[in-house]
Amino acid sequence: MRRAIFPGSFDPITLGHLDIINRSIPLFDEIIIAIGVNADKKYMFPLEERKRFIEETFKREDSISVITYEGLTIDLCKKYEADFILRGLRNPADFEFEKAIAHTNRRLSKIETIFLLTAADTSYISSSIVRDVIRNGGNYKVLVPPAVEVK
């Protein structure tokens, strides 16, 4: 069984995340989208709402599940017997940041990190940009899956 954990805060999930996940489905038997909880971080969307956005987006995809977690991603991988961490890369800065984490994770465990480049048409989208668009009353709908709703 090829099982991957796709960790992130998903505040909110974007079309860039969607691209990475959809392109990963044929690569893995199961993908666990893991919403990390960081007590020091201030989120725009509550945890349960972020989870609902993702579950709604992938409700017809049996190979995808959504969980929340605290702590190290490698500990989560061990708990769910996942041999892979899935990460998306938008730009060189993402690569440098993610490379350091991947090296650390491999040093601490046998878990491999698989990187996918985001598609050119979504590579500019980040959750922080989406939050800024929302805060300023812009049309965020063109940046996120339909399940993401601002109330």
127 is catalytic: yes
Does residue 151 have an active-site annotation? no
Q: Residue 124: helix, strand or coil by DSSP?
A: coil
Question: Half-sphere exposure (CA, 13 Å, Cβ side) for 23?
Answer: 15
Residue 21 to residue 138: CA distance in whole angstroms: 26
Active-site hit among 90, 99, 106, 131: 90
Q: How far apart are CA 139 and CA 27, in angstroms?
A: 33
* Residue 23 is among the residues annotated as catalytic for this protein: no
- Of the residues 17, 50, 51, 87, only one is catalytic, namely 17
Q: Tell me the sheet residues that pair with 89.
A: 117
128 is annotated as an active-site residue: no
Catalytic residue numbers read: 17, 41, 90, 127
